[in-house]
Amino acid sequence: MRKRIIAGNWKMYKKAEEARSFMKELVDTVPASENVETVICPPSLYLYELAEMTKSSTVGIGAQTMHEAKEGAFTGEISPKMLTDIGVGYVILGHSERRQYFNETDEAVNRKVHAAFEYGLTPIVCVGETLEEREAGKTVDIVATQVKKAFEGIADSLAPTAVIAYEPIWAIGTGKTATAENANEVCGAIRNTISELYGKDVADALRIQYGGSVKPANIDELLSMEHIDGALVGGASLEAASFLKLIEAGSHA
């Protein structure tokens, strides 16, 4: 049985005090459940403080991106070594906004997946198609290629500990959600791709999240699907009350 993973991606939102009070509420009220892992990915500016606040709780902290090098002359970047050093456990890699606005390529994502593992971070690897690609019937091809490239050279022993987030680009921040059946179909295709690469045991162990306008009203249906093991949530992770409802939904057996 795969443990669900619900992660909030705050993107470039929240002032320091808002981040702090959200985290205080979350740490105080997050349900203790064997069934769900909770992660918050704040802007990098708040990683240190939030990692300190969550040290003795079950809430994990993730970065929204990182550089692939351990250190170096890369003005403005943060490294995997720094993330591990301050107690960050996860990193989102290849988010469509990084791919679209910051020219992050499949090759760069692959290098970052390697770097994440090297420093003991759990990569949350994002894949997803544009509306145009979906309408052209290319969804499965696109996500399968993204997965294959992201996992190139990743050892069999590490692969099952990665998380993949299927985020159709047309569903991000638009209020449009893929139907649960549809999201499940694509997540199933992703699992098949992992199975082709690593075999069935790895494919059965690896967790796949859905992301794109997830909210309290649609989480139950999404989580009821065979291949959906959690959610990567933008907008609905910004308010503690709505995020807690998502965790609550994930905590049910």
List active site positions: 95, 167
Is residue 63 at the binding interface for ligand 13P, with CB under 6 A as the rule?
no
Tell me the angle at which helices 216-223 and 180-198 cross, rounded to the nearest 10 degrees: 50
Per-residue binding string, ligand 13P, 71-100, x by CB under 6 A, is ------------------------x-----
Among 233, 246, 247, 249, binds ligand 13P (CB under 6 A): 233
Is residue 235 at the binding interface for ligand 13P, with CB under 6 A as the rule?
yes
C-alpha to C-alpha distance for 63 and 35, rounded to whole angstroms:
23
C-alpha to C-alpha distance for 242 and 9, rounded to whole angstroms:
13
Q: Where are the beta strands (DSSP E) in the chain?
A: 4-9, 36-41, 59-63, 90-93, 122-127, 163-166, 207-211, 230-233
Is residue 37 at the binding interface for ligand 13P, with CB under 6 A as the rule?
no
DSSP letter, residue 195? H
Is residue 167 at the binding interface for ligand 13P, with CB under 6 A as the rule?
yes
Nearer to ligand 13P, 82 or 178 (CB): 178
What the block records as the tokens of 118 is: 């090297």
Q: CB-based contacts of 94: which residues, under 8 Å, 6+ apart? A: 104, 106, 109, 112, 125, 126, 127, 146, 150
Nearest one of 244, 248, 92, 58 to 172, comparing CA atoms: 92
Nearer to ligand 13P, 80 or 235 (CB): 235
Is residue 38 at the binding interface for ligand 13P, with CB under 6 A as the rule?
no
Q: CB-based contacts of 76: which residues, under 8 Å, 6+ apart? A: none
Is residue 54 at the binding interface for ligand 13P, with CB under 6 A as the rule?
no
Q: Which residues are registered as beta bridge partners of 207?
A: 163
Is residue 234 at the binding interface for ligand 13P, with CB under 6 A as the rule?
yes
Nearer to ligand 13P, 79 or 213 (CB): 213
Query: Is residue 96 a known part of a binding site?
Result: no
Query: Is residue 234 a known part of a binding site?
Result: yes
Nearer to ligand 13P, 94 or 202 (CB): 94
Only segment of 79-87, 106-114, 133-141, 167-175 that touches ligand 13P (CB under 6 A): 167-175
Query: Is residue 9 a known part of a binding site?
Result: yes
Among 9, 79, 139, 193, binds ligand 13P (CB under 6 A): 9
The gap between the terminal CA atoms of the chain, to the nearest Å, is 11
Residues that bind ligand 13P (CB under 6 A): 9, 95, 167, 172-173, 211-214, 232-236
Numbered residues of the known binding site for substrate: 9-11, 173, 213, 234-235
